[in-house]
Chains A and B, each alone.
Chain A
Amino acid sequence: MTDRMHDAFDTRLAAALEDYVARAYDPRPAAVVAGVAMRPRGLKVRIMPSGRSRRFLLLGLAAVLVVPTAYLGALLLRQSDPETVDPGTYQGVFIRRDESIPGIVITEVRGDGAEREIRRVPDATLPAGNKFAAWGTLAPSGWLAAAEQNSPWHVVLINLRDEAQEPWIIDQGNAGGIGPQWGPTGVLAVFGGFGSEGQGHGVRLVIVDPVAHTINPIRTQANLPGGGPNIAWTADGSGIVGYVYDSNQPNGVRYVTMPLDGGANIEGTPIPANPAIGGEWGLASRLRVCPLPGENADQCAAAPPGAIELVLADGSTSMLYPNDYQPDRALSVAVSVDGRSDWVLFDRGSGRQLVLRRFGRSTGASVVVASIDRAADWQYIGLAAFAPDESLASFSIYNDHDGVRSGLMLPTSGSAEPSFHTGSFVGYMEVGDLERAASGEYASRPSVSIPAGGARYQLPSVDELIAEEVARNPGVVVQAQGGSNGVPGSTETQVTRIELGMPGQSDINLYCVGAGPVTVSLNGNTLVTNSCASPNPAGPGGEWRQFNVGDLVEVRAPAETAWRLFVFCYPDVSRPLDCH
């Protein structure tokens, strides 16, 4: 056979191959592709001590996908592509309510999605007719911190390694607002309340050691940081990160370590065990996804919208990865355990699919690890946690409107499809520990039917959203409302005009799902922009605006985007607002 001889079959084969690849193209401009290729390789960062920690990309219950932060541990120059790890060492653990008990069922989930029950704990375990909440947090030691669903919201410790051990109800502290946190040494910190002086004057914490079976309530001499606020352990487990007011500091606060004995604060910048939280306070380096126009977050200093920015602890910034994957939109980012690569979660199809990419830190190139089709009732979905060896990734799914929690498990090697599981993901256990904890057969759990190709989250009707607002804030008055379910495939821009029929100092809730942005203007002036990257409502930044009869509210949106809007005010005479 020579290269130049070919028969009719060769011709047909060539033609068929051409047909097969005809649909393969890259929408990115050549300049972008070339730019990635020409980017300088080999990022050097100072070595910082790192404690063993999980990389949590947590979702707030009713918040936009939290942009996770990252702590730069020992970074190495690396020329080869990021590797994935074969599954098998860890499995996920979920907790769900089962009203037939009634109580909670704790299950382990394998990478291939098969489930096996570890424990059933009835509500009757709890005093005074309380019920277990359908969430918890699992320590690597196998101790699960569950909680009561209702007041007094006590934490209940369950030893998954020893079925004979009765659940231990911690009757001090509560999990009603601020979640308990496991420290690196297997000790649990539970929030006990603010002092009588209120926030800003230290807090009460309850330090629980399940192995020693001790409870130690302390009063701290610093405050818990963060918007929650948050209980954040130091990397060495010696204390909790706190802050005190210090006018000598640029931002007016100084971070300290609050020791576990309630003693004097330990001065010196604490190193947080969980860099995803600590980075937001400037205690660690972090990565962030630069917000799109209309998202309620600070713009990046060194990178455009949609790019990934690196923020060092000293505040200096640089662009790590540009926004090269449009129309895919980056949603969240986390550093891998070894610090040599980064995980980035993308939205694809404006709410129809999620794509997980792994970027090589030294090359800047990435590979797609998985795609996940969304279902129409998945309001929020984001990365919950990786297994310590990153063989598994879990995703948390939550819906504001029915309060349902569920999740996905995904082997990052690609050895199995993501599997859907009801209940809350609580953590990982090593397979060996699970063998001791559970017995019986694995069962494939019937999974929720995830529509092929993905489905956008289906927004409730505007009347349903208004009803929820009224339930939260009785007496609210709606001055205008509107919405659209979107026209699939349309490339038009839709403009909707709503004339106000009643006055008031008002707020706006604008929800949208699909291609963004959607903008709302008042008498021609832009008031609200929502990128639609999250089903969270956007508003004019908390500012109350005066709306008058006859004012024109204009909504400008891609016609394919679903949106809901209502303008509302409160006729509360105790507030300096006018609404009638």
Chain B
Amino acid sequence: MNAFAQPVVTGTPDLLARAQSGEREAFTELVQRHHDELVRISFAITGDLDAARDAAQLAWIKAWQKLGSVREPERLRTWLIAIAANEARQQIRSSKRRRVREIAPVVAHSSDSASGTVDHLDLSAALSRLDADDRRLLALRYLAGMTAEEIGPAIGLSGSGVRTRLSRLVAQLREELSND
């Protein structure tokens, strides 16, 4: 999936309305549609698979409790992502958690990662040097494809504040990765 293209999900208004009314099947369908993305975005922020899954799960708990506050169905996805991103950031900040060592290669779940004509950056080391806030910003912009105006409320900044911060972050990464 192109990180800059937002997927169009059919039937979302109806599904959302049913979930907001407490229909469990509808909520489960929402989870089915969005959970993978929440886990991936959380992983970009935490770098830890268990933490990412925990963050995504916590996000769904909050989503179930506050689903009624979503007025516009087209904002559901970014709303969910923002919750998960904040939970993921909280995972890192609150517990200084130890990275769980994986004991077996995790089977790649998604086969639609970009590849082929674009030469790849080795991002792992650069990500590990970023703090939780910067990782969250990167994930919201480059994975979730959110605009600065969408990101701002999620992280407590204005749209222009997001752009400024993002600009500095990208410049930093550009320099780091070009030196690799």
A interface list, Cβ under 8 A from B: 1-3, 6, 9-26, 28, 30-31, 33-38, 41, 81, 83-84, 348-349, 352-353, 355, 363-371, 373, 413-415, 417, 452-454
Contact = CB atoms under 8 A, between A and B. Distances in A.
B166 A26 contact: no
Q: Which residue, A15, A36, A363, A367, has most C-beta atoms of chain B within 10 A?
A: A15
B9 interface: no
Contacts of A414: 95-98
Given A16-B123, A25-B36, A453-B103, A370 B109 contact: no
B18 interface: no
Contact of B124 (A20, A83, A368): A20
Contacts of B63: 37
Contacts of B65: 41
B143 interface: yes
A373 B104 CA distance: 12
B16 interface: no
20 contacts: A9-B174, A16-B122, A18-B113, A19-B114, A20-B124, A22-B40, A22-B109, A23-B106, A23-B107, A24-B39, A24-B52, A25-B40, A25-B109, A28-B53, A30-B28, A36-B60, A368-B50, A368-B51, A370-B100, A371-B50
Interface in B121-178: 121-124, 127, 138-139, 142-143, 147-149, 163, 166-167, 170, 173-174
Contacts of B120: 12, 15-16, 19
A509 to B, nearest CB: 29
Contacts of B61: 36-37, 363-365
B49 interface: yes
Given A9-B174, A18-B3, A34-B27, A83 B94 contact: yes
A237 B115 CA distance: 68
Assign chain B's interface to a size class. Answer: 35 or more
Contact of A20 (B96, B115, B123): B123
A341 to B, nearest CB: 13
A186 B86 CA distance: 47
A24 B28 contact: no
Contacts of A371: 50, 98, 100-101
Main secondary structure on chain B at its contact with chain A?
Answer: helix
A565 B66 CA distance: 55
B103 A454 contact: yes
A109 B1 CA distance: 51
Contacts of A417: 98
Contacts of A363: 58, 61
B100 A12 contact: no
A333 to B, nearest CB: 18
A38 B27 contact: yes
B41 A21 contact: yes
Main secondary structure on chain A at its contact with chain B?
Answer: mixed
Interface string B81-109: 00000000011001111101111101111
A18 B144 CA distance: 10
Contacts of B28: 30-31, 34-35
Interface of B: 1-4, 24, 27-32, 35-36, 39-44, 49-54, 56-58, 60-61, 63-65, 90-91, 94-98, 100-104, 106-110, 113-115, 118-124, 127, 138-139, 142-143, 147-149, 163, 166-167, 170, 173-174
B125 to A, nearest CB: 11
A34 B63 CA distance: 10
A352 B149 CA distance: 46
Contacts of A12: 118-121
Contact of A37 (B52, B57, B124, B163): B57
Given A6-B4, A15-B120, A84-B95, A26 B142 contact: no
Nearest to A28: B53
A283 to B, nearest CB: 34
B24 A14 contact: no
Contacts of B114: 14-15, 18-19
B163 A413 contact: no
Counting from the closest, the 4 A-B pairs by CB-CB distance are A25-B109, A24-B43, A15-B114, A37-B60
A452 B100 CA distance: 11
A458 B31 CA distance: 41
Contacts of B124: 20
Contacts of A365: 54, 57-58, 61
Contacts of A83: 94
Given A13-B170, A81-B58, A37 B39 contact: no
Q: Which residue, A6, A34, A413, has most C-beta atoms of chain B within 10 A?
A: A34
B18 to A, nearest CB: 13
Contacts of A452: 101
A35 B27 CA distance: 9
Contacts of B143: 14, 17-18, 21
A368 B101 contact: no
Contacts of A33: 31, 35, 56-57, 60
A353 B101 CA distance: 9
Contacts of A10: 142, 170
B118 A37 contact: no
A26 B39 contact: yes
Contacts of B109: 22-25
Contacts of B110: 22, 25
A413 B52 CA distance: 18
A21 B55 CA distance: 15
